[in-house]
Amino acid sequence: MNSINKSYTLITGASEGLGKALAIECASRGMNLILVALPGIELHQLSSYIRREYKVLVYEFGLNLTIEESRHFLWEKVMENNLPVTMLINNAGIGNTYDFDECDFEIYQCQIQLNVMATVHITHLFLPELKKHPRSFILNVSSLCVFFYLPKKQVYGATKSFIYFFSKSLRKELKKYKISVTVLCPGGMNSNPSFYLLHRSGSWITQAAAMDPEDVAGIAIKDLIRGKERIIPGKWNRFFLWLDTMLPGWLKTKITDRQMKRLTKLKTDQLLKGIILNDNKEAA
Ligand SMILES: NC(=O)c1ccc[n+]([C@@H]2O[C@H](COP(=O)([O-])OP(=O)(O)OC[C@H]3O[C@@H](n4cnc5c(N)ncnc54)[C@H](OP(=O)(O)O)[C@@H]3O)[C@@H](O)[C@H]2O)c1
Query: Could you tell me if 66 and 278 are in contact, meaning their C-beta atoms sit under 8 angstroms apart?
Result: yes
Residue 251, pLDDT score: 84
Residue nearest to atom 34 of ligand 1 (CA): 37
Contacts of 126 (CB under 8 A, 6+ apart): 10, 75, 78, 85, 88
Pairing relationship of beta strands 85-90 and 230-231 according to DSSP bridges: unpaired
CB count within 10 Å of CB 21 equals 23
Ligand 1: centre distance to CA 92 (Å): 5
- Sign (positive or negative) of CA dihedral 170, 175, 180, 185: positive
Cα 195 to chain centroid distance, Å, stands at: 15
Model pTM score: 0.91
120, amino acid identity = V
Residue 234, pLDDT score: 96
Mutate to test the pocket of ligand 1, among 64, 207, 232, 270 (most ligand atoms within 8 A of CB): 270
The strand ranges marked E within the chain are 8-12, 32-37, 58-62, 85-90, 136-141, 179-184, 230-231
> Does ligand 1 lie within 6 Å of residue 192's CB atom?
yes
Closest residue by Cα to residue 31 from 62, 12, 52, 3: 3
Give pLDDT tens digits along the chain (284 positions): 344 468 999 999 999 999 999 999 999 999 999 999 999 999 999 999 999 999 999 999 999 999 999 999 999 999 999 999 999 999 999 998 889 999 999 999 999 999 999 999 999 999 999 999 999 999 999 999 999 888 889 999 999 999 999 999 999 999 999 999 999 999 999 988 877 777 777 777 788 889 999 999 999 999 999 999 999 999 999 998 898 888 888 888 888 877 777 665 555 555 445 444 444 444 33
Residue 255, pLDDT score: 80
Residue nearest to atom 23 of ligand 1 (CA): 13
> Distance (Å, rounded) from C-alpha 210 to C-alpha 188?
5
What percent of the residues of the chain are helix, what percent strand, and what percent coil, each to the nearest 5?
60, 15, 25
174, amino acid identity = L
Cα 125 to chain centroid distance, Å, stands at: 18
Q: Which range marks the domain in which residue 206 is found?
A: 3-283
Residue 32, pLDDT score: 98
CATH of the domain at 240: 3.40.50.720
Instruction: Give the helix ranges, DSSP H, for 55-153.
Output: 68-80, 105-112, 119-131
Number of independent structural domains in the chain: 1
Residue 19, pLDDT score: 98
The helix/strand/coil state of 89 is strand
Residue nearest to atom 46 of ligand 1 (CA): 93
Ligand 1: centre distance to CA 115 (Å): 9
Query: Could you tell me if 244 and 252 are in contact, meaning their C-beta atoms sit under 8 angstroms apart?
Result: yes
